[in-house]
Amino acid sequence: GENVEQHPSTLSVQEGDSAVIKCTYSDSASNYFPWYKQELGKRPQLIIDIRSNVGEKKDQRIAVTLNKTAKHFSLHITETQPEDSAVYFCAASGTTDSWGKFQFGAGTQVVVTP
Amino acid sequence: DTEVTQTPKHLVMGMTNKKSLKCEQHMGHRAMYWYKQKAKKPPELMFVYSYEKLSINESVPSRFSPECPNSSLLNLHLHALQPEDSALYLCASSHPGQLAKNIQYFGAGTRLSVL
């Protein structure tokens, strides 16, 4: 089955700096890669996603890149703000008949200090 | 509306109690999911319903019993739980359709404590 590894487990950045979180996956059939942000005590919220037919996607200060050959994808947050502090999870899923069964990474705790 | 609503928000129960968690969505999604999440860990998939039929059971103990009475509602019936079952229980749903089906929307969860 799919295995997703996520690094780093914790990331401290100064406000205004950039943050990068990396994930690798094992199943070459995976073709959908979402990123979820979960603030303390809140629900996971989809912040950006990418499909395997695209190499990069941007949404304001957030971008995701995908390298299918190397089987890794990364989340980039620019100009970080204190409200970016949260746990971020990457995930991977494939187009089987499993209705979007996700394999999540272990999560990255991001702390943005003013 | 991208709302998935879960009730109750908090639940404390004894090991001999029977209780139920409820999840509702009105987005026309035909896949619904139950996840269990421990502190500082990713969500772990428990069950998937597609078109109101159970399609995935991730070897969950029988003390957890899911039910999908209609396309908008998902229940999780709890009986004879153990203290280690204390966790945040998340519901999610996704839209049918070849590409859209991957996008899962999560509810706020029920924080369960088993005493």
Residues of chain A with pLDDT under 50: none
Determine, for residues B40 and A51 on separate chains, whether the beta-carbon distance falls below 8 Å: no
What pLDDT was estimated at residue B98? 61
**CB-based contact (8 Å) between B48 and chain A?**
yes
Nearest Cα residue in chain B from A42? B108
Chain A contact for B104 (CB, 8 A cutoff): yes
pLDDT at residue A105, rounded to an integer: 97
Contact (CB<8Å) A100/B55: no
Write the pLDDT tens digit of every residue in A22-54: 999 998 888 899 999 999 989 999 999 999 888
Is B105 within 8 Å of chain A by CB? yes
Q: What is the CA radius of gyration of chain B?
A: 13
Question: Does the distance separating the beta carbons of B103 and A49 come in below 8 Å?
Answer: yes
Cβ contacts (< 8 Å) between A23 and chain B: which residues?
none
Mean pLDDT of the B26-44 span = 93
Above 60 in pLDDT, residue B55? Answer: yes
pLDDT of residue A55: 92
pLDDT (0 to 100) of residue A4: 95
Residues B10-46: b if buried by 16+ CB within 10 A, e if exposed: ebebeeeeebebebbbeeebbbbbbbbbeeeebbebb
- B61 band by pLDDT with thresholds 50, 70 and 90: very high
Q: Does residue B97 register a pLDDT over 70? A: no
- How high does pLDDT run on average in chain B? 92
In this prediction, residues B12-37 reach a mean pLDDT of 94
CA distance A53 to chain B (A): 12
